[in-house]
Amino acid sequence: MEEESITAMNQQQRSHLLHASSRFSPPLGLKFSYGTAGFRADASLLESTVFRMGILAALRSVQTGSTIGLMITASHNKESDNGVKVADPSGGMLSQSWEPFADALSNAPDAQSLVQLIEFFVRKESISLDGVCKAEVLLGRDTRSSGVSLLEAAKEGIASIMGAKATDMGVVTTPQLHWMVRAKNKGIEASEYNYYEQLLTSFRCLLDYIPEGNKSKNAGGKVAVDGADGVGGQKLEKLTSKLNNLTINVRNCGDGVLNEGVGADYVQKEKVVPRGFGPADAGIRCVSLDGDADRLVYFCVSSNSNNIELVDGDKILSLFALYLKEQLGLLVGPQNEKSNSSYQPHLGVVQTAYANGASTDYLKKLGLEVVLTPTGVKYLHEKAAEYDIGIYFEANGHGTILFSDSFLSWLETRNKDLSSTSKGSDQHKATVRLLATSKLINQAVGDALSGFLLVEAILQHMGWTFQKWIELYHDLPSKQLKVKVADRTAISTANAETVVVNPVGLQEAIDSEIAKYSHGRCFVRPSGTEDVVRVYAEASTQEAADNLAHSVVKLVDQYLGASNS
């Protein structure tokens, strides 16, 4: 048999790939690993990885016949780091089935072995590379200066697959790029302008449908936003003048160092005010975005210290859950009760082990189904997609609400029927609100800008003050710490990261510590974005949570050999 007939890559393509790859050698002695949300490392080490992810994105596009996204960002990490996230045709994260290939690609030692690996993979996946393939990759980057050259490396990777086209969307938030990929594959114009239009139209629609009695109560008002000195603040500024009754003051838009003493990760983990905020902000709603604007948390500043009252992803999720449950109740009768409708949409909530115990209790008391997955929106998203309406949020503020296609088409039909038979009825209003919510909240991935607008619309819908939201339930005191160890991969976990499997004996030692504290809960896991092990502890007092976390840090040191903590 001729070689050409058993291979999925022709000779011209093979030489082209070999030639292009020979300019991008990986740094010696390093092992790259596809982590919680793609690859992350010091930016100076990433050129070959980003080039190779360009190849991967193009191959994924050929295989799926759809547009793929590639975002250059290290999100919440320090400015000197960078990274790469890949968006699948739905706009969600790259299919987990491709992660081993991403790992292998990034670690291939030279151009020859890289091309061999690709040849083997394309044959296995029946991807035909005949020099005339059709593929498109949308590229975006955050504000990191290293992103400029890394984006060029990505473009070269894409160009090494003959026929593949790279379209540079410029400096965008990660969720904007994911949104554009989804839009493009649905035949909608994938522009930043369209993204803003969709957000603004659905936000205004939700405001138009606020119940009469709540219209004047606590409407809009002042909000101060910490942009983490990244891309999110700059993008939000484009919207501020168009948001009716909200006065938004955006700070940390890029004059300071990205993520340093600012941003959602800092505020959520340290529980102190970010740079540029202080006692003068007491009483107003404050919001922090992360470096690439896929996470948000709210916080309330104390009038006499740097402390804050944190309103994290769990409380955002709880607000969303309450609102959606109310709308479904209006539409089909209360969830979990005998309904007056033949169709009962299934509403589910997805969290991780980081969810504060008080939030999970609150959600369960609402009668909602709550499921835990490991950390990483790729896991939460997949689980949430099993519901008609799946709400997922990590405590760190990363999350969204997914509406199934079947539920949306049922809702569209219901909306049409009700607008001709009982326009203006509670049922009709609920269909309008649910449809607008599905357009406002990013269906591809967690999005700080769309999440922010939905929170603001719901607070106005409920007629709630910030304080009322804060008091929805009271968080159990918690503490998060990071430990630098010699090899974080020596830790493996099970049961949604709540149990350490390796090293043997560590879990028993953690359990004995937990037993010393009232309402004690603690778990450890290797980070998938930073070279650390994370420790989370919860207990009935802050002092107890701090002590539990510190004693478990010592155990991690003991079992794994700290490099320093």
Q: Under the rule (CB under 6 A), what is the footprint of ligand G16?
A: 36-37, 75-76, 290, 294-295, 375-377, 394, 396, 398, 527-530, 534
Give the Cα separation of 536 and 481 in Å (integer).
Answer: 7
Structure tokens given for 227: 């942009």
Q: Which of 333, 273, 274 is nearest to 303 (CA)?
A: 273
Give the Cα separation of 45 and 265 in Å (integer).
Answer: 24
Minimum distance of ligand G16 from residue 398's CB (angstroms): 5
Give the Cα separation of 62 and 160 in Å (integer).
Answer: 13
Minimum distance of ligand G16 from residue 51's CB (angstroms): 21
Q: Could you say which DSSP state residue 275 is in?
A: T
Tell me whether residue 115 or residue 138 sits nearer to ligand G16 (CB atom): 138
Q: Could you say which DSSP state residue 25 is in?
A: P
Give the Cα separation of 132 and 115 in Å (integer).
Answer: 18
- In degrees to the nearest 10, what's the CA dihedral of 426, 428, 434, 437? -100
Structure tokens given for 186: 């649905």
Minimum distance of ligand G16 from residue 353's CB (angstroms): 11
Structure tokens given for 210: 């606020």
Give the Cα separation of 429 and 8 in Å (integer).
Answer: 54
The DSSP result for 470-526, as a single string, is HTTS-PPPEEEEEEEES-GGG-EEETTTTEEEESTTHHHHHHHHHTTSTT-EEEEEE
Tell me whether residue 94 or residue 418 sits nearer to ligand G16 (CB atom): 94
Which CA distances in Å does 151 have to 50, 69, 85, 169, 184? 8, 12, 12, 11, 20
Give yes or no for a contact between 63 and 164, defined as CB atoms under 8 angstroms apart. Answer: no
Label residue 198 exposed, middle or buried (CB < 10 Å: 0-12, 13-18, 19+): middle
The DSSP result for 512-540, as a single string, is HHHTTSTT-EEEEEE-SSSSSEEEEEE-S
Structure tokens given for 376: 């990483």
Rg (C-alpha) for the chain, rounded Å, is 24
Minimum distance of ligand G16 from residue 513's CB (angstroms): 21
Give the count of beta carbons closer than 10 Å to the beta carbon of residue 563: 14
Tell me whether residue 185 or residue 396 sits nearer to ligand G16 (CB atom): 396
Minimum distance of ligand G16 from residue 77's CB (angstroms): 7
Minimum distance of ligand G16 from residue 120's CB (angstroms): 30
Tell me whether residue 58 or residue 289 sits nearer to ligand G16 (CB atom): 289
Active site amino acids:
75
Structure tokens given for 76: 């919440």
Give yes or no for a contact between 16 and 162, defined as CB atoms under 8 angstroms apart. Answer: yes
Give yes or no for a contact between 428 and 413, defined as CB atoms under 8 angstroms apart. Answer: no
Minimum distance of ligand G16 from residue 113's CB (angstroms): 29
Structure tokens given for 489: 């991969």
Tell me whether residue 156 or residue 530 sits nearer to ligand G16 (CB atom): 530
Minimum distance of ligand G16 from residue 218's CB (angstroms): 30
Tell me whether residue 466 or residue 536 sits nearer to ligand G16 (CB atom): 536
Minimum distance of ligand G16 from residue 329's CB (angstroms): 31
Omega of the bond prior to 374 within 30 degrees of 0, cis?
Answer: no
Give the Cα separation of 209 and 419 in Å (integer).
Answer: 14
Minimum distance of ligand G16 from residue 83's CB (angstroms): 8
Tell me whether residue 37 or residue 537 sits nearer to ligand G16 (CB atom): 37
